[in-house]
Homo-oligomer: A and B are copies of this chain.
């Protein structure tokens, strides 16, 4: 029996909508892999040439300058697609933030399969377009927002990410959630230093906008204040 049949992201990942026969063919090409928190899956400028679906856990995509400065350029959650199909080698490292499980494919195999299955390519296109939208919104944040605006925007983003898709189409943002990021990683997302991030967290808490039950937990007390701060 193919492991895909019981896959928890079966209906959300790009595999969704493929017929049983196709799923089976795909599962023959791929294999599952665990990645421990902190462990890399792909290195920057790597030529290991693999792509993957995230089954469980959270991973970061990062780029670095020669002298070690780091910027997180993307975050992959369960059902997200990782890697760079078609031609180019990815210019980003992928590292697990939490223990994670992924479903990996050799890029060549995946490329060939995708070209033969337009429905899969269409799903990939929709995802890539959505990711491009997100990265453009983040460019706005990185280029033009102040530190307080950056953190407020980030927290609203997280609240949405961990919200419940409750009644039909509407998404209810989470009031309380656990960050998959350390303070340093939040800094690398927002283009700030860890000290500035810490100060902004402290300030939001002091102002009664959020509460911080523990290092990684956030409770949104005054969402409209956050929205006003987000710019």
Contacts and interface: CB of A to CB of B under 8 A. Distances in A.
Contacts of A86: 125-126, 129
A144 B71 contact: yes
Nearest to A115: B122
Interface in A48-96: 61, 63, 65-67, 69-71, 73-74, 84-88, 90-92
B132 A121 contact: no
Given A139-B139, A142-B139, A142-B191, A88 B128 contact: no
Residue with the highest number of chain B CB atoms closer than 10 Å, among A118, A125, A137: A125
A7 interface: no
| Interface residues on chain A, size class | 35 or more
Interface string A205-231: 000000000000000000000000001
Nearest to A143: B191
A96 to B, nearest CB: 19
Contacts of A74: 136
16 contacts: A61-B136, A63-B137, A63-B140, A71-B139, A73-B139, A86-B126, A91-B133, A91-B137, A92-B136, A115-B122, A118-B121, A132-B135, A135-B135, A139-B142, A142-B142, A143-B191
Interface of A: 61, 63, 65-67, 69-71, 73-74, 84-88, 90-92, 115, 118, 121-122, 124-126, 128-133, 135-140, 142-145, 190-191, 231
